[in-house]
């Protein structure tokens, strides 16, 4: 069984371009306690934009 507070939870990264496009990834909560921000490709706008972690 999984622990209630998993060390590497599955998170969603939502595009800041407002397209609603998301990536799903995992992150280590001990090493990165703050919200994750990555620059990734958004195929809706066909550009690299910032994706922010949503909870």
Q: Indicate which CATH number applies to the domain containing 24.
A: 2.20.28.120
5, part of any domain: no
**The model's pTM:** 0.83
Q: Residue 55's pLDDT is what?
A: 77
Q: Residue 3's pLDDT is what?
A: 64
Q: Residue 43's pLDDT is what?
A: 97
Q: Residue 6's pLDDT is what?
A: 83
Q: Cα–chain-centroid distance for residue 19? A: 15
36, part of any domain: yes
13 CB-side CA count, 13 A: 17
Cβ-Cβ contacts under 8 Å for 17 (sequence gap 6 or more):
42, 44, 45, 47, 49
Q: Residue 2's pLDDT is what?
A: 60
Q: Report the chain (55 residues): mean pLDDT per 10 consecutive residues.
A: 78 96 95 95 97 92
Q: Give the range of the structural domain holding residue 25, as residue numbers without chain letter.
A: 10-54
3, part of any domain: no
49, part of any domain: yes
């Amino acid at each position: 069984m999984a622990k209630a507070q998993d060390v590497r939870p599955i998170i969603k990264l939502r595009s800041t371009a407002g397209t609603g496009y998301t990536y799903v990834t995992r992150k280590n909560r001990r090493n990165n306690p703050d919200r994750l921000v990555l620059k990734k490709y958004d195929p809706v706008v066909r550009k690299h934009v910032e994706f922010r972690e949503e909870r």
